[in-house]
Chains A and B, each alone.
Chain A
Amino acid sequence: MPAVEYAGQTIEVNEEGFLVDSNQWTPEIAEELAQEVGIADLSEQHWKVITFCREDAAKQGQPPGLRRISKLSGVNMKDLYRLFPKGPGKLAAKVSGLPKPQGCI
């Protein structure tokens, strides 16, 4: 497993760049992960999505799928695509320090 330096910490990530241990995640790391996927600044709405994803994953034991995020986070599908234009299905989880979602929806 490669290790990368984020926000001054050495963090283990998998081959696709997802954090191996979601407990190592911090908001500062999220900012750097976001920049890596082309999001210059995390807005209030980004944080709403990230907070939902982390809370939901803690409850459900797996990262939420996109449909679930759009239904429960308070950020609708159109906005999710605007916030994560390069693919919200994968990137919302990645920036939130969670594994790649296993669902197809």
Chain B
Amino acid sequence: MTTTLEEPTVAIGQENAAEIQQRKPIERVSIICSKGNLDMAYPGLVLANGARMNGIEAMVFFTFWGLDMVTESKIDHLHVATVGNPSMPIPTMVGGLPGMEAMASKMMKKQMEDLDIPPVREFIEMLHDAGAELYACRMAMDMFKLEEKDLVPQIDEVLTVLDFYDKSAGSQIIFI
């Protein structure tokens, strides 16, 4: 039996705003932040904040290295990876030299500031004020031997994966 794919009536990217508005809007997003590099911290934060700015409910679940983004002792010291990062415009050997990571991180922070994007700590505070729900992963906390007092106060709750799915009901889940 052959399956015929239905031809789309409008080419992708050609839809007009009226047609987009007819589609069911996103009502809730559940964003999983699993990375602790500075460059991987921002996508989740920007998406969550953008959702709230647009009237969409947002929750963020910090797990594994993503916990660094909400750990008091780490939040102000996140780094850009200069080694093992194929998008970094310098050779890996050079990226491994002492001071390179600090320099790249400093440059990125400066660029963010120029674009009016806040540092991670302020971003987390902003998300909290914007009504985004912020959760930390129980298993990762146990793994890294962290307690709730080690996290920033904006974290609403520590969740198991079962809690995570319960809270994500009706959400689009985004993994970063």
7 additional contacts (CB under 8 A) given A15-B18, A87-B54: A16-B17, A67-B126, A81-B129, A87-B53, A87-B55, A89-B53, A105-B118
Minimum Cβ distance to chain B for residue A46 (Å): 16
- C-alpha spacing A89/B54, complex, angstroms: 6
Minimum Cβ distance to chain B for residue A1 (Å): 11
A65 within 8 A of B: yes
Partner of B52, one of A15, A65, A81: A81
A74 within 8 A of B: no
A-B contact pairs, 10 of them (CB 8 A): A15-B21, A70-B126, A81-B52, A81-B129, A85-B55, A87-B52, A87-B54, A88-B53, A89-B50, A90-B55
B17 touches A87 (CB 8 A): no
Category for how many chain B residues contact A: 20 to 34
A81 touches B130 (CB 8 A): yes
Interface residues of A in 77-93 (CB under 8 A from B): 77-78, 81, 85-91
A81 touches B116 (CB 8 A): no
B14 within 8 A of A: no
Interface residues of B in 111-164 (CB under 8 A from A): 115-118, 126, 129-131
A66 within 8 A of B: yes
B169 within 8 A of A: no
Chain A residues with CB under 8 A of B116: 65, 67-68, 103, 105
Minimum Cβ distance to chain B for residue A89 (Å): 3
A24 within 8 A of B: no
Interface residues of A in 49-80 (CB under 8 A from B): 65-68, 70, 76-78
